[in-house]
Amino acid sequence: MTRAETIEYIKTNCYGEWCKDDWRNAMDMAIEALKMIDESKTADVVEAVHAEWVDKGEDYVLRWSCSNCGRKDTHIYNFCPDCGADMRGSTDEI
């Protein structure tokens, strides 16, 4: 859902005759609509950035390093906890 669609959604669903008597309900719907924007933003970021875990070797305590932001970690994740890059498929161990 785009921002314009969300605004249209709020206008259509939150400014009807019924909501004059139920403003709180309308606010709930507006908040729900804003959450949808946040979710679609997050999805866009995750799709846009791809990176991989760089293996520093077993001698390092923080063995894995994100090739996008340089975050170091003892574990590997499907998504970098710092920059949110999609790390899936970067190693065979996931």
Residues forming contacts to Zn ion in the complex (CB under 5 A) are: 66, 68-69, 71, 80, 82-83, 85
In the complex, the smallest distance separating the C-beta of residue 66 from Zn ion, rounded to whole angstroms, is: 3
In the complex with Zn ion, the residue whose CB is nearer, 9 or 79, is 79
Q: Secondary structure of the chain in the HEC alphabet?
A: CCHHHHHHHHHHHHCCHHHHHCHHHHHHHHHHHHHHHHHHHHHHHHHHCECCEEECCCCCCCCEEECCCCCEECCCCCECCCCCCECCCCCCCC
Least Å from the CB of residue 69 to Zn ion:
3
CB of 38 vs Zn ion, minimal distance in Å: 20
Q: In the complex with Zn ion, which residue's Cβ is closer, 36 or 73?
A: 73
For Zn ion, the closer CB: 33 or 66: 66
